[in-house]
Chains A and B, each alone.
Chain A
Amino acid sequence: MNPQPDIRGRLVRINGPIVEAEGLGAAGMLDVVEVGALRLIGEVIRLLGDVATIQVYENTGGLKPGDPVFATGRPLSVELGPGLLGSIFDGIQRPLPAIAKHSGLYINRGEKTEPLDRSRAWPFQPVAALGSRLGPGRVFGTVRETPSIEHRLMIPPDWGEVEVLELAPAGDCTLAAVLGRVRDEAGSERELRMSGLWPVRRPRPAAGRLAMTRPLLTGLRVIDALFPLARGGTAAIPGGFGTGKTMTQHALAKWSEADIIVYIGCGERGNEMTEVLREFPEIIDPRTGRSLMERTVLIANTSNMPVAAREVSIYTGITIAEYYRDMGYHVAVMADSTSRWAEALRELSGRLEEMPADEGFPAYLPTRLAEFYERAGAVRTLGGAEASISVIGAVSPPGGDFSEPVTQHTSRFIRCFWALDRDLANARHYPAIGWLGSYSEYLPDIAPWWAERAPEWKPCRDALMDVLQQEVKLQRIAKLVGPDALPDSQRLILFTADLIKNAFLQQNSFDDIDMYCSPEKLTGMMQILELFHRRARELLQRGGTLAAVRELPCLEAVLRMKHAIPNPEAAKLDALRRRVDADFDELDRRVA
C-alpha cells in the first residue's frame, strides 16, 4: 500500500474539496492519490493532459499550489476480512475508535489507520482439502467472527480456479498470517490470506440472479402487512424532516430478518450514530439470542465530516455488504440518507463546473442511483449459495415535496415505496408510513410464501387495505357534512379504520413488547381486525347499530393487544379472536 515514489505530481489549484495537480498524467482514472505533506486521501476524478482533477476526502485548508501529490496506483478499495462486524468506520473505511485513540475528540486530518485490527488473532479452521481445485468465491477456511456469524474465507472472485497446495492447520492466526498457497490457472503460485482489498466502485460478481420469493420480515406491522419488502429487494423511505426516517431505519436495522446489517449514516447527525453505537450492543436479537451489534457494520460519515467522503461512503457500505453476501448471508443495507449523498454529488459537480440538470444536480444522478440500487438483489453466489442484499434508502426531499429530483429518480429504481406522511407524524402516529402514497411491487412475488405458511395473510391484508382506502374517500365527505350525517355502514368504515390505525398500524418502538412484531402475532392481529369488521358489517345489515358495536366489551382488549400480548404468547390472540366472535354472537342474538 506504499505510494509509488515514481509518480509524483504538484498541486496547481485548490477549490474546496476539489484540487488540480500537474504531473499525474500516468495516474489512472479513479486511482487513489495522497495530497500534500499531510498525505490527505484523494481520488482522481478527471484527467486532462498532464493535469489530474482530484477529489479530496478531507478538509483541504492550508494546502498550497506546489504541494506534492503522490500516486498510489490503485483504485479506492476497502479491506475485507474478519473484524468488520461490530465496527464503526468513516466513509473511507477508517475505524473511528482507532482514530479516537490517536487524535482525541476531534478527527484530525491525514489520519492513517488500518481498517482492520492487525493484532487480533482469529481462530482459523481450514475447510478445503489439499490438492483440491477451488473456483473463485469457494470457501477454503472459516473463522468464527462473532458467536452467531461464521466468517467464510473465499478464493477472491477475480482469481479464477486454483489448486490448493498448502493450507495452515486449525489455530489462531492474525490478518498478517499466510494461510495457504495455491497455484492458479496460469501456473503461478499465490498466497491465501485472511483479508483482501476490493475496489468500492466495482460490484463483486455473483453466479446469477435469483427470483425474489421471500419477504424480508421487518417486525414493523405496517410494512409486513401492507407494503412488504422482498428479500433482495429495494425500498425507499422518503419523508420531510421530523417524519421519522431515521427512527424507521433504526427499527428496520434492529428487527429485520437478515443475517448481517450494514448501516450507512451518510450526511446525517452524529448523535444518531451514537445512539446506534450505544443501543445496539444492549439489544438482543430475537432470532439468535445474541447482541445486535454482532451482526452490524456501521459506516458513519456525519453531516459535518468532509463531503467527498460522504459520496464514497455508500459504496464502501455496499461493498462490505456484497462481501458477506458472497459468503452466503442475507444482508440488509440501510442508507440514511441517499439525499445527502446526492447533495454531495451536486456539490462536487458544481466545483467541477459541470453543466447542471434539475435543481443543480448533475445529469448523471439517475445513472449513479441506478448503479447503486442494482447492487441489491437475490443471487446465486460464486460459491453456490443462495444469498441476498436488500437495500433500504432514506430520502430527504426538501420541504417534504416528493416531486424533487432525488425522490423522483429513486422511485424509478426501487420497487417498494414507503412514503412518510407529515400529518401522521404530527399526530405522533409512528411509523408514519402513509397508506395512500406507499406501494410495494413485491406483493405478487411473495404472496405464495405467505399462502404456504399463513393463508389468511393475503385476504386479511386486502380487507384491511380496502377499509383504509374507503376511509380516505369517506373522510373527505365527513369533513364537509360531519361524520354523524353519514349512514351507520359508512361510519363503521371510519370506526374500523381508526381501530386499524390505533390498534395495529401504530407501533411504539420504545415499548418492550410492541417494538417488534413476530409473523405469528402479525397474522393473529390481522385476523382479529378482519373478523371484527366483517362481523360488524353483517350486524349492521341485520339491523344492529354502530352504537352497540362501539360498546362491545372486547374492544378495549383489541385496542390494547399490541402492548398486552408478547410475541411468544401470540397464541393468546386465538382466544381474543374467539372472544370477539362470542361478543358478536351475543349482539346478533339481541338483534334477532
Chain B
Amino acid sequence: MIYNRIIGRLDIKGPNLVKGIHLEGLRVLGKPDVFAKLYVEEGIDELFYQDVVASLYERNSLLDLIKKTANSISIPLTVGGGIRSLNDIDQILKSGADKIAINTAAIKNPEIIYQAAKVYGSSTIVVTLEVSKLINNIHCVYTDNGREFWDINAIDWAKRVENLGAGEILLTSIDNEGTGKGFDITITQKISESVNIPVIAHGGAKTSIDIIKVLTETQARAVAISSMLHYGYLDKVQLNSSNYEEGNTDFIKKNINYKDYAKTSIIDIKKALLPKILTRI
C-alpha cells in the first residue's frame, strides 16, 4: 500500500502567515499557528513552514513559532528558509521541528547536504528545488523565493542532491505557484522519475483534480498545498484584524474572500481523491 501525503504549506513572514503569487506579492492571512492547529485537527498529513524572509533578526520569532506549533501538534513539521549552517539546523530541530528544508545554502555549498545527512540522518534533510522553465523548455533552479537565477539544470541538480544524501525533494514550480493553474506535470514527472527519493509536488494546486493529476501522472506521492487550503479555510479561522500590523494587510482587513478558490475542507479534498489516490482518512 502507499498512502499519498497531503502537506499543508505555510509561508511565514515575521509573525504572519502570508501567501503570494509566483512566490511574490505577499498577502497577510493570519497567525500561522492558528491555521496549523486547525489543519492538523482536520486531518492534514504534515506541515511545512517556509520562512519567506528568513532574515537573521527575525530568527528568534521563527524559533518561537516552531516551539509554539510543535507544542500543540503531534504530526511532522518541516521548516525551511534561511538555513545556512549546521548550527541553524540544530536550533530549528531543537525548537521542535522534525525535518529541515534547504535551498540557497545547498546550491552555494552542496557539501552541506552531505554533512547534515551524516549528522541528522537523510530523512531529516529536505532539499527544496524552486524551478522555472526557460524559453528553451529547460527547467533551471532559483533561490531566494524565486528571486535569484542559477544556471543549473533542475534534473541534474535533483540527482546530485539525492547522491549527496537528501531524504526528500520539495519541488516548487515558480511558474505555477499561487496561480491555481495546476501542478507543472512535465517537470514533476521528469524529476520524480530521475531520483529514487520521495518528491513532493508543489505549486499551482486549486482543486482535487489537480492533485489527482500530479499523483497519477508522475512518481510524486506527496503534494504541498497552500492557497487551496488557506482560502478554503479563511472564514473558519477567527480573524482579528487588530492583530495584523505588518505587511500587506488590506486583504484581511477588508475581509475579502478569494473568489477563485472554493471553500473546502481537508477531508473533502481527501475524499475527492478516492478511489484512485489513497491517503490517511
Do the two shown chains form a genuine complex with each other? no
**Chain B residues packing against A (C-beta within 8 Å):** none
**Chain A residues packing against B (C-beta within 8 Å):** none
